[in-house]
Structure formats: C-alpha cells, structure tokens
Amino acid sequence: MTRRAPARGRAGAGGTGSARDGFFVALTRAADHSVLWIAVSAMMAAGGRRARSGAARGLAAVAVSSAVSNGMLKPAFRRQRPGDREPLVPRPGSFAFPSGHSASAFAFATAVSWQVPALAPLLVPLAGAVAYSRVRTGVHHRADVVAGSALGAAIGLAVTIARRPRRPRRSALFAGAVLVTSRRAARSRDLAVARREMRGLGLAVTAELDVSQLSQLPGLLAARGPGPVLVVAAGGDGTAGAVSDALAGTGHVLGILPLGTSNDFARSLGIPVDPRLAADLFAGGKAATVDLGRFTPQEGASRYFAHAATVGLNADFARIAARDGLRDRLGRVAYLAAAALAMRGRRPFGCELRYGGTSESRALAHLSVINAPAFGGPLHLGVPAADLDDRLLDIVTVDDIPPSRMLLAAVPFLLRSTRPVPGISIRQAASVQVRAGEPLEVTLDGEIAGALPGSFDVAGDALRVIVPPGFTDVDDGIPGKGTR
C-alpha cells in the first residue's frame, strides 16, 4: 500500500500553480468523504417531495458505490497511484482502481437526475468536473476515473429503478379502462409512472381520450356492452369533474389519477396524490357511491359537478387563467397572477338565495356551492363539519370584504375551526336557488360552464368511484340507494 506523500507542486502547499489548478484542488477536496453531495442533498431537502426523494436516492447510491469501489474492487485490483509527478493534494493511502470519488459523483448525479431531471444540467457536469479533478490533481490514472464514473452511473441507475418491496401482487378490479387525459393538467412524468403501475396490475388501457374529446365517451362505453366500465380521469379537478358529469347515473366507475394543481376532489375522497399510490387503488381500493352536485340554469341543460360550483371571485379567476392560453405559457405561475388580478378587479354582485324555506338577499364578492369539502390543494383546507356523502351541499358566501380580511379568513379553515368567521357564512341544504340581477358566470370544478340564474341541488348516490378501502360509503357501494 502506497505511503501518503506530502502535498507539493503547482497548487499544493506553497505551490505557485494556476487558478485553474486551484479550482480543481478545491473541488476534489470538497468531494472528500462525499461532503459535497451531502451538502447538495441538504439543499434539496428544502424542496418538494420529489426533491427529497431524489436526495435520499442519491445518498443511497453514494453509499453503495463507495462500498463497492473502496471495499471490494480496490483491494481486488490493487493498482498503485500515479507516481510520475507530485500530486496537488495529499496522495491517498488506498489503491487507485477504480476512483471512489468518480464513482460517488456519478452515482449521486445519476440517481438524482433520474428523479429530478431539472437538476441534471447542473449535477452531471459537476460530477464530471469532480472526476476530472482526480486526474488533474495527480492522484488517479485516467482509466481509474473512467471505470469509477461508469460504475457510479450504473449503481445510480440501479438504485433509482429499484422499487420498494411490493405487497403481494393483486389483480386490478377491472380488466381494462378508458383513460381520459388533459394536456393542460396531466404531468407527463407522473402519468408515465401511473401507466407503469396500471400495467403491472394487469389493467389495460383499451381507449384513450383527451378531455376535449369527452363527447365520444358515451359511444365507447355503449360499445363495451351492459357491464360497468372503469373510466380513469388523469388530470385535475376539471378533468375529474367533466368525467363525473359524463358518468353520473350510468353505473360506470370513475378512477382518479390526481395530476392537477389542487386535486381537491381526490383529496376529499382520500385518494393519494402520488400517482403510483393512486393507481394502486385500482387493485387495492373499492368502488363506492358518492354524491354529486348538479347545476340547472334557467336556460340550458343540467350539468353535474364533483367538487364545487362557484360564482364571483373564482369564476373571474378561471376566466383570467384561461385567457389567451395563460396557463399554457406561464404554468403554475399563471394561477398566482390570475388570483391577484381577480382579487384586484373584484366587484360585488347582488343575489337572492332560496333554500330550505328561507330566502336571503345578499351583496357578495363570492359564492361557492360545495359538494366535496376539501379545498386549497396542499394547504389541506376544508369546510368544517362537511362530508362528501351526506346528501347535502355546503353553501359558502363571502361578503365584499377587503382582501386582507379574506386572507385572514383562511386561517380558521386551515385550523378546521367551527367558529364563525366575520364576512363568511356557511349553510347546508339539499338544494338552493340563486337569482341575480344580471347574468353571472358559473364555474363547475374550475371550468366556466354556465350562468345564473339557476338552481343547485345534490344528486345523491350519482357516481361510482374507486376510493381507498377505509373510505366510509353510506350506501356500501350499491348504486341506486340514494336520492336522485
């Protein structure tokens, strides 16, 4: 085993080397004992779920690559370090082949980049620079670095694609499914994960539609005969609501892959937002029957909604967000911009509410008629004492109060408090008629779909949907027992 030599030379102690040598010396030292990759992982921990998962997989790959390169291969090959010149850093006392620094660098970069592709342009060149620094500083042969880099990349890939131990494989509740996607909501990577899980469960996609082609769905279902068909909505609340409207009262079954921004209907049902876990319910879940809301305008046909119907601020938000493809250009930033513009341009509207023998005339900034109680997406807000399957709608009115008070009003909802909030009122009723002095746009599940005046009522037991096993279904999954 080679004895450690004192660090001398171009950029070593007392050296007069170039600034470039100094950079690679600093980089190779930063990667000693994987400190560099641990620091990167710590920064990633402040990100979202995917970033934290990528950091964990990256560190696992570093641990495996270090064990393989330093614990197994170096003692087996026993290759000596370069001796043709003085290194720029202390010469390690271990053998040279393969390079442990290179293996760890590419193991981490590969594992993280697979999980978080946006970081690949940063991590892969950084790993290459660390690998090159081992040759530049004179402590490795080129072949050591090439072999270490290849070994690390292979281990990073293996750790990444290695799946968690599976529960015993179960068969899907249905042999096939019709898949409805939304180009605007369905994140391609998450949808690909869900597709793989569905294939693993033996659930074949027999037809696929974009939500804009939903008018073709009745024909597809009729062609499959009298039995129930699973229709999977891959998108956000708008996609799930549109498919729910098409399936209401048919006996066919909705499956949800929550790939949108809020996914409030899925959250109300207890469906995980992780696409793999959501797809796994197609084997491990159950078919339950739940309520839908129904909006009947004074002119035009009735439509069902799964999550909520809204008038006022949310309708303005939906109109602004869809303006000139704003969501397509700005992504999720568009929602913040649309919310700010809707709040700034809000204007109160007068309306009359009739429900349960009561009539109210109000001046409002916003009206929500809610079927599924969760809202606010990852904030986990919820309407107090509300239930998705209670044969009641929750009618939420917001007076024309300042935006600051509207924001403060969200706090009790966040805490699930039942205390009254000034300016916000909640009522429960099976139906409500709403009349306004002027036509007002109505959104159903976040999509503009009609105008007031009109009526809202609960359509009990209107939808069959795949839910987690622990979901409480008041009808035990038997269609036809609720009120229509």
Print burial letters for 308-347: b (CB count within 10 Å at least 16), e (below 16). bbbbbbbbbbbebbbeeebbeeeeeebbeebbebbbeebe
Q: 7-21, pLDDT tens digit by residue? A: 444 444 334 457 788
Nearest Cα residue to 144 out of 442, 331, 152: 152
pLDDT value of residue 315? 52
Where does 303-345 show beta strands of DSSP type E? Answer: 303-305, 308-312
Average pLDDT score over the chain: 81
Instruction: Kindly calculate the radius of gyration of the chain based on its CA atoms and give it in whole angstroms.
Output: 29
pTM of the predicted structure, to 2 decimals = 0.60
Q: pLDDT band at 52, cuts 50/70/90?
A: confident
User: Which position has the token pair 């239930």?
Assistant: 387
Top mean pLDDT of 39-53, 263-277, 416-430 is at 263-277
What residue ranges do the domains of the chain occupy? 19-161, 176-293, 303-459
What is the distance between the alpha carbons of residues 109 and 184, in angstroms, rounded to a whole number?
Answer: 30
pLDDT value of residue 217? 95
Per DSSP, the three-state class of 467 is: strand
pLDDT value of residue 475? 57
Q: 434-478, pLDDT tens digit by residue? A: 998 778 889 898 888 888 999 999 998 899 999 999 888 765 544
Q: For 116-256, where are the alpha helices, taking DSSP H only?
A: 120-136, 142-161, 188-200, 217-223, 237-247
The percent of residues in the chain predicted with pLDDT above 70, rounded, is 78
Of 43 and 386, the one with more pLDDT:
43
Mean pLDDT value across residues 80-97: 88
* CA triple 268-353-295, angle to 5 deg: 50
pLDDT value of residue 479? 41
Q: pLDDT band at 304, cuts 50/70/90?
A: very high
pLDDT value of residue 338? 45
Q: 208-220, pLDDT tens digit by residue? A: 999 999 999 999 9
Please tell me the number of Cα atoms within 13 Å of 135 on its side-chain side: 15
Q: 53-66, pLDDT tens digit by residue? A: 888 889 999 999 99
CATH architecture of 303-459: Sandwich (2.60)
Please tell me the number of Cα atoms within 13 Å of 48 on its side-chain side: 5
Of 416 and 469, the one with more pLDDT:
469
Q: 311-370, pLDDT tens digit by residue? A: 876 554 554 444 445 455 444 444 444 455 445 556 778 889 999 889 999 888 888 899
pLDDT value of residue 184? 67
pLDDT value of residue 395? 92
Distance set, CA 374 to CA 215, 263, 457, 460 (Å): 29, 9, 19, 18
Q: 136-169, pLDDT tens digit by residue? A: 999 999 999 999 999 999 999 888 877 555 544 5
User: Between 3.40.50.2300, 3.40.50.10330, 3.40.50.261, 1.10.3720.10, what CATH number should domain 176-293 receive?
Assistant: 3.40.50.10330
pLDDT value of residue 352? 93
pLDDT value of residue 271? 94
pLDDT value of residue 68? 92
